[in-house]
Amino acid sequence: MNASPLRIPIRVRAALAAGSALLLAGCANGAQPAAVRDGGEASGRDRYPVTVDVDVMDDAGKTLKQTVGAEPKRVVVIGQALAELMVEFGLDDRIVGVGYLDNSYSKYADRIAKLPKISDQLPSREAVLALRPDLVLTMSFALKADKIGEIPFWNARGVDVLPAVNYTAGRDLDSYYEDVRHVGEVFGRTERTAAYTREQKSRIAAIGRRAKKATDSPEVLLVASGGRDTYDYYAPSLGLVDEMVNGVGGTYMELTDDSYAQLSLESIVAADPDKIIVTEFQKSDGEKSRDRLLRDPRLKNVTAIRNGDVMIADYTTSIRGSLALADLCEDVAEFVHPDLFPAS
């Protein structure tokens, strides 16, 4: 279905470095940059360098650092959710190439389609190099020698790397918010990214407060599909929808200790979920996948199938995380507890 995730969690912390000379110059000119003064927006050379510490070790066991010395102008983006971030925060004009897209249902689909595409899958390092990027914004699992190459490979060629923890085992909703914050810091969009995060957290917290009134906890199974005859299972450590299910008063079903496994029809029957959430990787016809489940005679006695309780979820948002986190959380709440969250 897709590449195996990087098993080493990546934590990225960005800290702005601004010298006292810049501060004095800004005051003298009556134009002290907001990012220096109070964490607000700023652009151009006033807000650089931005230093990024990455919890990834080189061959000598040293933690790697990334210092973005100037505003990134030529950015290669690997991952649908990261491309959406660039579009939402007005940075899509910096993109010289995108890869590993999910073909999701998101509202950004038309704008993503207009970006220069390298490949639907992971691009080769040669293809990325040919675009002469000054920054690679990528899902962390791609930063391996057998994929696009490790961070030192890019640094040796004068290219900075900003990894995101999307699709890294062990991350959660807060990890996605971190990704958003890091993009804001590196590209000078801190006010906008902070406002987005506050709004999302507020909406999800409100859902959680109402969900505490629930008197039962329906068991929910995530069924992922790539359009094949088989299905896939994602453990809680490899997705984000589990956190939403549990947060709205449901129980995300854990079928195996493996983070990712093929899911047979027999295992779905044995699990007998109360409700099923179906999502598709790099497919855009969720209705077809939902109907296939509902009409399969071998599943007719499964509680969720018998009651027609099957929901379609966007893959990018439910597995990797996207700007539509709160939207999906609200949909999941309505699906799991329609008594508490009636359709608007």
Write down the pLDDT at residue 59: 58
> What amino acid is encoded at 90 in this protein?
G
In angstroms, rounded to a whole number, what is the distance separating the alpha carbons of residues 73 and 133? 8
Write down the pLDDT at residue 292: 86
Please identify which residue in the block is written with the tokens 């004095």: 24
In angstroms, rounded to a whole number, what is the distance separating the alpha carbons of residues 139 and 179? 10
In angstroms, rounded to a whole number, what is the distance separating the alpha carbons of residues 132 and 155? 13
Which tokens belong to 49? 């360098």
- From residue 119, give the alpha-carbon distance in Å to each of 98, 99, 134, 285: 7, 5, 19, 20
Low-confidence ranges of the chain (pLDDT < 50): 1-40
Cβ–Cβ contacts within 10 Å for residue 291, how many? 12
Please write the tens of the pLDDT for every residue from 120-129. 889 999 999 9
Write down the pLDDT at residue 13: 34
The pairing of strands 310-312 and 260-263 is unpaired
Write down the pLDDT at residue 146: 93
